[in-house]
Amino acid sequence: GIQVEQSPPDLILQEGANSTLRCNFSDSVNNLQWFHQNPWGQLINLFYIPSGTKQNGRLSATTVATERYSLLYISSSQTTDSGVYFCAVNKLTFGTGTQLKVEL
């Protein structure tokens, strides 16, 4: 089956910093979503982005399907951004996530 790799596995930021999370996948995709799992376990939809670029406030995402990767940008990070960020493809196959901690 398709493999999904995310990097970095862990990230610690100071509040206000910017970051880029990467998702690589091993085969073509027809679905790609980014999720944030908050410390209470809730999975929150960030983007549905099988291709192209989208922005939502301080977050944006880009998927280059032909090169089999997607990027999630977080700007001006806040402590509430802490949690695990997952990329998931197709039906869905999840990556192992990026654990983000934003400190004051």
Partner 1 sequence: DSGVTQTPKHLITATGQRVTLRCSPRSGDLSVYWYQQSLDQGLQFLIHYYNGEERAKGNILERFSAQQFPDLHSELNLSSLELGDSALYFCASSVGRERYEQYFGPGTRLTVT
Q: Which chain residues interact with partner 1 by CB under 8 A?
A: 30-31, 33, 35, 41-43, 45, 48, 50, 86, 88, 91-94, 96-97
78 versus 96: smaller Cβ distance to partner 1: 96
C-alpha 48/C-alpha 96 separation (Å) is 18
Residue that has been written with the tokens 């983007």 in this structure = 47
Distance in Å, CB of 86 to partner 1, minimum: 7
Distance in Å, CB of 6 to partner 1, minimum: 11
17 versus 43: smaller Cβ distance to partner 1: 43
Q: What share of the chain is helix, strand, coil (3-state, %, to 5)?
A: 5, 60, 35
Distance in Å, CB of 97 to partner 1, minimum: 7
Distance in Å, CB of 61 to partner 1, minimum: 13
Task: Give the strand pairing for 52-56 and 32-37.
Answer: unpaired
2 versus 12: smaller Cβ distance to partner 1: 2
18 versus 42: smaller Cβ distance to partner 1: 42
- Phi, then psi, of 80 in degrees rounded to 5: -70, -10
Instruction: Write the CA distances from 12 to 51, 69, 82, integer angstroms.
Output: 28, 23, 9
